[in-house]
Amino acid sequence: MSTPDLNLLITLDVLLAEGSVARAARRLRLSPSAMSRALARLRETTGDPLLVRAGRGLVPTPRALELRERVSQLVQDAEAVLRPAEQLNLKQLVRTFTLRTSDGFVENFGPDLIARIGEEAPGVRLRFVLKLNKDSTPLRDGIVDLETGVVGKATAPELRVQALFRDRFIGVVRTGHPLIQGEITPTRYATGRHICVSRQGLDKGPIDEALKPFGLEREIATIVSGFSTALALARASDLIASVPERHTGNLRGGMHSFLLPVSTPEITVSMLWHPRMDADLAHRWLRGCVRDVCAESRANSSMGG
Same fold, 90-167+268-300 and 169-265: yes
108, 248 in Cβ contact below 8 A? yes
Which CATH superfamily, name and number, covers 169-265? Periplasmic binding protein-like II (3.40.190.10)
pTM of the model: 0.66
pLDDT of residue 85: 57
**Average pLDDT value over all residues in the chain:** 89
- Selected residue with higher pLDDT from 17 and 185: 185
Residue 305 has pLDDT above 70, yes or no: no
pLDDT of residue 110: 93
pLDDT of residue 150: 86
* DSSP β-bridge partners for residue 124: 95
Name the percent of the chain lying above pLDDT 90. Answer: 59
Residue 210 has pLDDT above 70, yes or no: yes
Task: Name the nearest CA neighbour of 209 among 193, 186, 228.
Answer: 186
SS3 of residue 27 by DSSP: helix
pLDDT of residue 300: 52
Residue 203 has pLDDT above 90, yes or no: no
Which stretch of 74-78, 97-101, 210-214 has the lowest confidence by average pLDDT? Answer: 74-78
Residue 78 has pLDDT above 90, yes or no: no
Q: Which CATH number fits domain 90-167+268-300: 3.40.50.2300, 3.40.190.10, 3.30.1360.120, 3.40.50.10470?
A: 3.40.190.10
Q: What pLDDT, in 10s, does the model give residues 249-294? A: 888 989 999 999 999 999 899 999 999 898 899 999 999 999 999 9
pLDDT of residue 2: 65
- 185 half-sphere exposure, CB direction, 13 A CA radius: 6
How much is the average pLDDT of 10-38? 91
| Domain-wise residue ranges, the chain | 7-82, 90-167+268-300, 169-265
* DSSP β-bridge partners for residue 162: 271
If you classify domain 7-82 with CATH, what class do you get? mainly alpha
Which stretch of 10-14, 200-204, 241-245, 273-277 has the lowest confidence by average pLDDT? Answer: 200-204
17, 140 in Cβ contact below 8 A? yes
Q: What pLDDT, in 10s, does the model give residues 80-103? A: 777 765 688 999 999 999 999 987
- Selected residue with higher pLDDT from 226 and 193: 193
Tell me, rounded to whole angstroms, the distance of Cα 103 from its chain centroid.
13
